[in-house]
Structure formats: structure tokens, C-alpha cells
Structure 1
């Protein structure tokens, strides 16, 4: 893994800077990657710079996590009594265990989607806690007021209003508030549609987890044939629709993720409002299915699920293309070789590199190198967005030093 002379490498043309629809860069914001001069000692550069995680962004993340923990703790005093009253202790225990299965499916999907550029575990924990506790508490607090304000004007009977209007509007608003907080206070980690989908799926998975405990527990507590009713409810919610909430809220996260590319607070808030619309419509459509449930499920909901899978696949392909292009720009500046870029920007290349490093006892160092290079590519994307450029250029220097140090750690004898 050696770098060629950056002074002999041509800079990429601006039109090459847009490898896919995900990473479009305005021509006026494009700038070459900083050169890697051989005479600049990497060890000294690494020692001279502060840690890559230092700065205003980490303070915002820590504050967000602290606030989320406090809100989650307070929310438990609203959510837990409500669930226990409706399920009883036995129903709660059985519902809790049964709810782990659909939750596992959602979290597995999150892991697959998030594999290329993993989000910090602390932020994923915040997202899950927001969904499982805070958004449920917000829903319980807002629902009565929303019903009084909008119920009479809708002209619907209470049950129809509650199922097709109140639940979709209030629940999607409560879940997506967590997305808005992540976008405003952890923007360095929420900089694209893939991140939006990951955080949205995690929040929705948490919300569905608590909701499933309630539904499964009620099947135990309120039924004369609890075993049969639990199987029916579990099949409907845990087998046929474990991703329902994830897809609803995922549309909001997707739209907010595209807005995150612009790094503009006003646009972020506007994307929050716009993103609620498809989430509410999808949620309402799901809740509106009645006697012809099976036909609507096959003809409408299954295609929606398949479309969601297709969107996620396209997002991952675009993310890899973006990584390859940004790393090629660093290669032109002397930070990587061509083979390194191919290794870092393909799944097969990464797996092969990790197998080789593990065979010589350097697996953790290679894992860190792969992650740091990906983070570097996305840092460059933020630079090319044209907003907060000096702060991101400082982060870029930290990332470059980190990549250089990790390369040496992988190759040292």
C-alpha cells in the first residue's frame, strides 16, 4: 500500500465528480483533494493533530445522547404503566419475548443496510430508545388533544378517525421527531439518504417493539382463548408485517436524508414536514385495510415492500459508487493507490482484505482502516456540498492522518 507521486497525477475533472444521483456536487463547490507530499512525515502529522473525534460535532452527539437518555427515563413512567395496565404482568412478559422476533428482523435489516458506513452505536441506541419509549410517550400525550381538535372536523366516527387519521398522524410525527433531532444535532453522522433510512428503521423498530408488546399482551390478557389469539396476532404483526412501521417512517428518513446533503437547517425542518406526508399516507392505507385485507395485502402492501427493498439496494449501490469516486480523488492526490481504491470500494475487496489481515493477526487494524477510509470519503462529500467547508476540511486532515496511521499499523512487521 504505497502512494504514487501526487504531482504527476492529473486532478479529476468536475464532471467526473458526480458518480451517481446520490452524490451530486455543484461545479462551483468542487475542489481537488489536498496533496500528499512525500516529504510530509505521517507520524509527525498524526501526532500534531488532535483526535479525529474532537470538535463541536461530538459535543452535539453527547448532548443528544444525554437528552435522549433523560427523556427515555422520564417516558418510562408513562409508557410502562400504560402497557402493564393493558396486558397484565403475564401478558407483558409473553408479549415482550414474542416481540423480540420481529424486532430482530428489523435490526438485522438495519445491520445489512448500515454495513458500508456504520453509524455510531450510541446514536443507534438513541434512535431505538426514542422509538421504543419516547415516541410512544409522545403519542400517548398528544393523542387526546389531537382527537379533540381534529376529530369533530373530520366527520368520521371515532373508531375510523382513530385508526385511519389519528394513529398515522400522531405516531409518525412522534417517531419522526427523533429523526429531526438526529439531523439537527448529529448532522456529521446523518449526511445522506442511507443514514436517514438506517435511523428511521431503528426508531420504527423500537416503536413497533413496544406496540407489539401491547398487542401480544392484550391477546393474552383479554381473550378466552389466549393461545389461539396470540398466534393469530403474532402472524399478522410479526410474520406478515414486521417491517410496516419501518417502511412508513423510512420514507420520512429517506426524504430527510436527501435534504441532509444540503446542510441547511431550514431545509432539514422542511424535509421533516414533507417526509411526514408519505409516511402518514402509507400508515393510513395500512390501517384502512378491512374485509379484503388479504387481497390488498398481496396487491398493494407486498409491492410496496418490494419497492422499499429495491430503493435500499439502489441506495447501497449509489453509496459504493460515491465512495469509489471520492477515494479516487484522494488517489489522484497521492493518498491511495488504484488497487487500494478498488479494495476499499467493493464488498469483495473489503472481504478479501479483511481475510488477509486476519490471517496475519491484523484484523482489527484492517477493520479500522476500512472504516476510516469510508469516513474520509464521506467527509470529502460534505466538503463538496459547499457548507461549513473550513470545519470539514479540518476534519479531513484528521481523517487523512488517521488513514495514514492505520495503514502503517496494518503493514508494520
Structure 2
């Protein structure tokens, strides 16, 4: 398989998942250039993450529990959260709860896409391997992004719960990302029997979050009123 084919196969899952969640915005889709910019920031985030993770491995060692929850999930999800919070949370385009999901997923999938390209090139990955990675790490990053964005949306539009929801928006992706990595690192021979129900749960929870975020949109009420007036 040519290098171009490998790169395209590695990029496709992230782009497809981003398009899926982008189109799930029922009431007011976000500016595509801003979503693309957050996707690009997610790609660029890979490089500082690599440096920090290497430094933390030297400092803390490679114990599976520490690596999964602190070095891998902790570093990656905190930096994604940092980007979305400081670039988007107070942005004028963030005008309904679902927007948090769109931008968080864009950053997460930008990160996952370059990570997938690196893996494919460095390991001469086959199509079957890339399909498996599309189902596991790439879609996993998307699910963690949905969690993050869902709670950021709740924080944005529920001022009385802001502190708690901001905490959840960072903590929940770290927790589930850590669980995901820990299973892969420790369940060497039977990981698939844990990972399948885990991914089913994460997808189910994410789709519920998508539905709930859309249901809380203030634009939903406006659209309903417009239909009544007509």
C-alpha cells in the first residue's frame, strides 16, 4: 500500500467522525472555518503532548496505572480542555449547549488524526489495523471530546453550576480515557471482552449527551415559536 493511501486511510476516520458530530447540530451549525481551526489546533497539540509525556515517563516511570491516568489521559485531556476553554468558552459563536461538543470533538479528533497518521507510518499499518484503530483510539478520542463538550455546554448556560460542570468537563474525559488506556495496557489477552462493552457504553452515553445538548438549545424554543407564528 502506498504512503499516500496509508495517510488517507489514517486521516479518514477522524474527518468522518467530525463530520458526523458537526451535522448532529440540529439548530445552528458552527462556522466551518472555526471548527477547522480547532481541528488544526488539535493536530498541533500532539507535539507539546509528546514532549510532556516523555518528560513525565522519565520522572514517574511507566507503571500502567500512572501512565494511563496521569501521563496519557491526564496530559492529553487537560491540554485539549485548556484549548477549548480559553479559545472557545467565551467566544460569541458558543451560543447553545451543543456547540461545546462540536469544538471539543474537533480538537480531540485533530489530535487523534495526527496520532493515527504517525502510528500508520511508523508501523507500516495495514488497512485492517487502521480499521481497528478507527473503532478504538480514534472514536475513543471523539467520545472523550463529547463528554468534555457536553459539560462545557452545561457550564456555559447554567451559571449556578459553572464550577462543578467545568470540573466535570475536564475530569470525566481524563477518567474514561484513563480506563480505556489501562484496559489496553493490562488486559493483554482478553482486552477485547472488556473493550467491546466499554465502547458500547461510551457510544451510548455520547449519543445521549448529544440528544440532551440539542434538547437544551435556546434556539429550539425560538424555532418552535416561529412555527407557531406561521
TM-score, scaled relative to structure 1? 0.49
Displacement after TM superposition at 1:285 (Å): 1.1
Does residue 306 (structure 1) correspond to residue 204 (structure 2)? The answer is yes
* Residue number in structure 1 paired with 2:133: 237
**Aligned with 2:88: secondary structure?**
helix
Q: CA offsets per residue over residues 109-145 of structure 1, 9 Å max, x none? A: 1232224211122321221111111x21221232244
Does residue 131 (structure 1) correspond to residue 42 (structure 2)? The answer is yes
Which among 103, 116, 125 is matched to residue 14 of structure 2?
103
* Residue number in structure 2 paired with 1:286: 180
Once the two structures are superposed, the pairs formed by residues 381-396 of structure 1 within 5 Å of their partners are: none
Looking at structure 1, the residues matched to 220 and 26 of structure 2 have their Cα atoms a distance apart, in angstroms, of 16
Displacement after TM superposition at 1:230 (Å): 2.0
More helix by share: 2
Looking at structure 2, the residues matched to 194 and 314 of structure 1 have their Cα atoms a distance apart, in angstroms, of 9
Q: 2:112, 2:137 within 8 Å by CA — same for their partners in 1?
A: no
Aligned pair count? 225
**Structure 1: 5+ residue stretches without partners:** 1-89, 221-228, 341-413
Displacement after TM superposition at 1:295 (Å): 0.9
Q: 2:97, 2:214 within 8 Å by CA — same for their partners in 1?
A: no
Does residue 193 (structure 1) correspond to residue 112 (structure 2)? The answer is no
* Residue number in structure 1 paired with 2:88: 183
* Residue number in structure 2 paired with 1:121: 32
Displacement after TM superposition at 1:305 (Å): 1.0
Once the two structures are superposed, the pairs formed by residues 353-364 of structure 1 within 5 Å of their partners are: none
In the superposition, relative to structure 1, how do residues 125 and 326 fare at CA in structure 2: closer, same or farther (>3 Å)? same
Once the two structures are superposed, the pairs formed by residues 25-174 of structure 1 within 5 Å of their partners are: 93-133=4-44, 135-149=45-59, 151=60, 157-158=62-63, 161-174=66-79
Q: CA offsets per residue over residues 377-412 of structure 1, 9 Å max, x none? A: xxxxxxxxxxxxxxxxxxxxxxxxxxxxxxxxxxxx
Looking at structure 2, the residues matched to 169 and 210 of structure 1 have their Cα atoms a distance apart, in angstroms, of 19
In the superposition, relative to structure 1, how do residues 324 and 300 fare at CA in structure 2: closer, same or farther (>3 Å)? closer
**Aligned with 2:27: secondary structure?**
coil
**Aligned with 1:189: secondary structure?**
coil
Q: CA RMSD in A?
A: 2.8
Displacement after TM superposition at 1:96 (Å): 1.9
Displacement after TM superposition at 1:212 (Å): 0.4
Q: CA offsets per residue over residues 328-365 of structure 1, 9 Å max, x none? A: 6xx6xxxx57243xxxxxxxxxxxxxxxxxxxxxxxxx
Of the structure 1 ranges 118-127 and 94-103, higher mean CA displacement relative to structure 2 is found in 94-103
Once the two structures are superposed, the pairs formed by residues 212-361 of structure 1 within 5 Å of their partners are: 212-220=116-124, 229-262=125-158, 267=162, 271-289=165-183, 290=187, 291-319=189-217, 322-326=218-222, 338-340=228-230
**Structure 2: 5+ residue stretches without partners:** none
- Runs of 4+, deviation exceeding 6 Å: none
